[in-house]
Amino acid sequence: MSIKSLRHELAHPRTSVQRCLLGIVGGCSAALLIIIFRLTLEGIQSFYLTHSDNFTTLAPELRFILPIVGALVILFFAYLTRFHHYRMGIPFVIHRVKQHYGHIPWRSSLNQFIGGIVALASGFSVGREGPSVHLGAAGSSFLGQWLKLPYNSIRILAGCGIAAGISASFNTPFAAVIFVMEVVLREYKIHLFIPVMLAAACGSMLTRLVFGEFHEMDFLRFTTLNHWIYLYLVLFGIALGGIASLFNSQLMRIILLFRPLGMASRLLIAGVVTGAIGYLLPEAMGSGISAINVVMSSPENLSLLLAILLGKFALTIIAIGLGVPGGIIGPIFGLGVLVGAILVMPLGVFIDNIHDYTSSFALLGMAGLMAAILSAPLAALSAVMELSFNPQVILPAILVIVPAYVTSTQFLGNSSIFIRQMQYQKLAYKVSSVTEDLQKTGVLAVMNADLKIFHDVPDTFYTQYINQSSNQLVVQAQDFEIGQQYALVEPNLAIAPHQGHAVKFTSMQGVPHQATLAEVYQILQGNRSGAVYVYEHTPDDIVGIVTWEVLRNHLHREQY
């Protein structure tokens, strides 16, 4: 298949072999980037840590110095790539997917790669899924840009990269698919679902080939609960909803409080605070694995768990709020496990072997906190299902996720932390329903390629030609100082038949062959008439015409 026929096929919003192959290629390219990211991170940590992401074996003095040095290194690379390319992370990726078809600036991606590695290696309380999502979307969308694919397919490629990134981070392909659909794309269509599924599968398979079949939270197991405990799960979910709302509000408060400071000051403050708390509580440092290990090794030590919970809470909102490059889902998992291990203890009044349920409540705490903080209940349910390897977790998880989400959103006025971050940063993420629908179809899918271009001919010639070739579109090309100008030549139906078959000329703007119908709509919606021409390499290389009638028919088509 030629590249031109591939572009034409991908311009259609439908499931096809080509789109499936594109999902596989996009997922593999994203997964390879993330594998390089993880190998680099683990290679750096191996020089001073016994186990990856476990800072408890590091000397206290080094725990204090390491985050400060990390902040300085992040600043150095941000300076090299210019500070205005520093925007990164999941909120930025959502904005680029919704408003720019998933195009990710390469300098921003470079900052994310270096900054993410340094932040995680330095012990900041951030997750690696943030860099994974950014790098995954960038890696797959770069492929689409290189092939000059239609913008609607590049957006799907970005979604494939995000799914591969999350799948490669947590080894949870199904949760990755749901996350993309629920949080990023916010729609469920088969032609989107299939390539994203394939990309997530590729991300998981490649990760398993390199790092093995297990995942870092493999030791969390779900134990079947007595049915009377289900009533307590509802109260547990309500408590998680309150904690999630507190987390989001305090994170936004930190962002607003330190807004007047420059980037250098914010990162250095984050480094000092992380070093100070890490000096006393090394278990609170890192992406959250250390905290989870403490829960499983010392579930009865309530004072230690509370101290780590408070420390982890503070370090996470400081790191994310002050702009440390990293994700939020990893720390949320750590906080959820801690909350679950603490809130299971009141059941000890009724149950002797209460610590047998610590792992179960840790999983449920992760699910409830993720659902309420990210406003992603289905993704949270999917994640806890895959992490537990036990379908019996589904009903208890629902009993926790639903009250956590409803309490957080309806009663406490909370919303997704990603949405709140985008609103603060003035990153647009909303599009009208008409624009959203039109963005799914490329101009190559509906344009009329049967056209004839004439240069410097009299108007009478157009009349004769149109009478002879009524089905072919006719374009007039005129040379001006600013370049070629094109007009669509049509019969002038306002002229009476006895006055002759005069023609009318409708000036046209051009759109690239990668454009979607949304760009055509923006040009033609003012007059509700006219046409645009589609060009391939340069504005003089016309390959088709899209008229207002074609656009209107597309909008009024019937859908199931």
Kindly tell me if the per-residue pLDDT of 8 is higher than 90. Answer: yes
Kindly indicate the confidence band of residue 116, based on its pLDDT and cuts at 50, 70 and 90: very high
Q: What pTM did the predictor assign?
A: 0.91
* pLDDT at position 88: 82
The fold of 3-430 is Clc chloride channel (1.10.3080)
Kindly indicate the confidence band of residue 486, based on its pLDDT and cuts at 50, 70 and 90: very high
Count CA atoms closer than 13 A to 128's CA, side-chain side. Answer: 31
Kindly tell me if the per-residue pLDDT of 218 is higher than 60. Answer: yes
Kindly indicate the confidence band of residue 252, based on its pLDDT and cuts at 50, 70 and 90: very high
Distance CA 185, CA 140 (A): 16
* pLDDT at position 298: 84
Map tokens 């000397």 to a residue: 59
Kindly tell me if the per-residue pLDDT of 502 is higher than 60. Answer: yes
* pLDDT at position 170: 86
Backbone angles phi and psi of 127, in degrees to 5: -100, 160
Kindly tell me if the per-residue pLDDT of 492 is higher than 90. Answer: no
* pLDDT at position 496: 53
Average pLDDT over residues 427-451: 92
* pLDDT at position 120: 96
Kindly indicate the confidence band of residue 495, based on its pLDDT and cuts at 50, 70 and 90: low
* pLDDT tens-place string over residues 321-356: 999 999 999 999 999 999 999 999 999 888 888 888
3-class state of residue 175 by DSSP = helix
* pLDDT at position 78: 86
CATH of 440-555 given 3.40.190.290, 3.10.590.10, 3.10.580.10, 3.10.20.340:
3.10.580.10
* pLDDT tens-place string over residues 92-104: 999 999 999 999 9
* pLDDT at position 372: 97
Buried b (16+ CB within 10 A) or exposed e, 34-56: bbebbeebeebbeeebeebbbbb
Kindly tell me if the per-residue pLDDT of 498 is higher than 60. Answer: no
* pLDDT at position 83: 66
Q: Which helix (H) or strand (E) holds 396?
A: helix 394-406
* pLDDT at position 216: 72
Kindly indicate the confidence band of residue 127, based on its pLDDT and cuts at 50, 70 and 90: very high
* pLDDT at position 76: 92
Distance CA 67, CA 59 (A): 13
Average pLDDT over residues 504-531: 93
Kindly tell me if the per-residue pLDDT of 440 is higher than 90. Answer: yes
The domains of the chain are located at: 3-430, 440-555
Kindly tell me if the per-residue pLDDT of 497 is higher than 70. Answer: no
Share of the chain above pLDDT 90, in %: 69
Kindly tell me if the per-residue pLDDT of 46 is higher than 90. Answer: yes
CA-only gyration radius of the chain, Å: 28
Q: Which runs of consecutive H residues, i.e. helices, occur in 171-262?
A: 173-179, 190-211, 229-257
Of 485, 236, 253, 179, nearest in space to 361 by CA: 236
* pLDDT at position 467: 75
CA distances to 261, 302, 323, 552, 555 from 549, in Å: 53, 69, 48, 5, 10
Mean pLDDT, the chain, whole residue set: 91
Inter-residue long-range contacts of 231-235, CB under 8 Å, 24+ positions, other chains counted: 232/347, 233/364, 233/396, 233/399, 233/400, 234/399, 234/400, 234/403
- Partnered with residue 477 across adjacent β-strands are 455, 486
- Tokens coding 147: 């092939």
Who wins on pLDDT, 99 or 218?
Answer: 99
* pLDDT at position 61: 96
Kindly tell me if the per-residue pLDDT of 543 is higher than 90. Answer: yes
